[in-house]
Amino acid sequence: MPLPPPALRPSATPLNIYIRFQTPNLKSSPPIYNILGEVEKVILGKQDMQLERERKKNDDKYLKKDYKCELCVLGFDLKEIFKKHMKKHDKNKGAYVCEVCQCVYAKQRSLKKHYGVHYTR
């Protein structure tokens, strides 16, 4: 069977995700399947997004890291990479701040795209 053109396939577009962010009561989406029938993505509702963050906080992989960004729930092995990451939270970088992890962006477009990190699994 030929693949449908990309536009016809359901996808976790930045816009879809941003709508979820603005509508806190939305439930997580049904899974989006890839062409092999595997679950590719789930767009999370706000509550599930928060649960997902809690889960990551207690994940061994995260807890074992030497350097942690608690805002992003990300662990790092190397100090240099950790320091580079922390620049993302520098308030001087722009006016658009992610309400989930406090990452700072100069453009609203970039922030909207960034929400995909939190609202998909």
For residue 13, the minimal CB distance to Zn ion (Å) is: 17
Piece of 5-13, 17-25, 42-50, 95-103 that binds Zn ion (CB under 5 A)? 95-103
| Cβ nearer to Zn ion, comparing 9 with 84 | 84
How many Cβ atoms from other residues are within 10 Å of residue 20's Cβ? 23
Q: How far is the CB of 56 from Zn ion (least distance, A)?
A: 12
Asked if residues 28 and 44 have their Cβ atoms less than 8 Å apart, the reply is yes
Nearest to 120 by CA among 100, 106, 92: 100
Q: Which of 17, 44, 49, 101 binds Zn ion (CB under 5 A)?
A: 101
Q: Which residues contact 7 (CB under 8 A, 6 or more apart)?
A: none
Instruction: For residue 98, state whether it binds Zn ion (rule: CB under 5 A).
Output: yes
CA-based max dimension of the chain: 51
16: phi then psi, degrees, rounded to nearest 5: -55, -45
Site string for Zn ion, 51-90 (x = CB under 5 A): ------------------x-xx------------------
Residue numbers at the binding site for Zn ion (CB under 5 A):
69, 71-72, 98, 100-101, 103
